[in-house]
Amino acid sequence: MKRTQRKRKERLFLWLCRGATFLAVGILFILLFHVVREGIQWLDLQFLDNFPSRKPERAGIKSALVGSVWLIGLTALISIPLSIASAIYLEEYAPRNKWMRILEINLANLAAMPSILYGLLGLAIFVRYFDLDRSLWSGALTLSLLVLPVIVIAAKGAIRSVPNSIREGAYALGARRWQVVFFQVLPGALPGIMTGVILALSRAMGETAPLIMVGALSYIAFLPEGPSDPFTALPVQIFNWAARPQEDFHGLAAGGIIVLLILLLTLNAGAVFIRHKLQRYK
């Protein structure tokens, strides 16, 4: 092949790569623009302060928003201690053998399991077997199972990135293992762990399918007062509105999406901030 031909091919390919990248960026902007254009007219204080309603102009996301906050709070309370403790054990205490490798593979598979299967699990175990019914407990426990492997994997990575010299130094000064772990390793790994936790919780915040499975109702005209109350959540409410044929409800769905995306972006920005400002070891 002639050199000019090869050069032309190279230029074409470069533009193709560039084009694909800008297409992806463009898609994100189209998506955001579309959502904002459809939803912005529904977005006012009343929208935040009203309960869902059959009349679009009086419908709002108050119960969904409060439900989501309850849900994420409970999920955090359940999943954070469990997953960090598991990560510490797997990194600092567990023997390195064949079983541990199988455990790691198992963890990766759990993290990649379709979320709807967690929904089936929650429905059978929490809703039916433990008889928690369609309560916040059921939703939060299901979401906790879903985020557990994600946080464990992130926390394991953060703990592993703490240099061994830190541990050795502490041992040399006569510290016991728990002292090394809690006073040296954990503080060093904390920014990484927190980033993982925030990202996992923001994933939980957008999850819809498992909540539908455990019966997050979408018409709730009251606020939950405790974890045993029935609930709805923001993504479930969005799904409910988007699934209706009327245009006005699609607008409401877009309004709900704007609120959800703002919450998620805030959480993610927090994660990025922590990653940049606090990370000690890389």
Partner 1 sequence: MLSRWIDHAVHLVLLVCVVITLLTTVVVVALLGKESFLFFQQVPLWEFLFGTRWEPLLEPKSFGVLPLVVGTLKIVIGSIAIALPLGLLIATYLSEFASGRMRSAIKPVLEILAGIPTVVYGYFALTFVTPLIRTLFPDTQIFNAASAAIVVGIMILPMISSLCDDAFQALPNSLREGAYALGATQYEVAVQVILPSAAARVGAAVILALSRAIGETMAVTLAAGATPQMSLGFLESIQTMTAYIVQVSLGDIPADGIEYLTCYAVGLLLFVMTLIMNIIGNHFITKTHKLHS
CB nearer partner 1, residue 195 or residue 225:
195
Q: Are 191 and 278 in contact (CB under 8 A)?
A: yes
Q: Based on C-alpha coordinates, what's the Rg of the chain?
A: 23
The 10 Å CB-count burial string (b at 16+, else e) for 69-92 is ebbbebbbebbbeebbebbbebbb
Q: Residue 253 and residue 231: Cα distance in Å, rounded?
A: 18
Q: How far is the CB of 94 from partner 1 (least distance, A)?
A: 8
Name the minimum Å distance from CB 157 to partner 1: 13
CA–CA separation, 206 vs 29, rounded Å? Answer: 19
Is the CB of 62 or the CB of 250 nearer to partner 1? 250
CB of 229 to partner 1, least distance (A): 19
Smallest distance from the beta carbon of 228 to partner 1, in angstroms? 20
Q: Which lies closer to partner 1 via its Cβ, residue 69 or residue 264?
A: 264
Least distance (Å) between residue 199 CB and partner 1: 8
Secondary structure letter of residue 244 according to DSSP: S
Q: Which is nearer to partner 1, 221 or 265 (CB)?
A: 265
Enumerate residues 6+ apart whose C-beta is below 8 A from 195: 154, 158, 271, 274, 275
CB closer to partner 1 out of 29 and 225: 29
How far apart are alpha carbons 193 and 179 in whole angstroms?
19
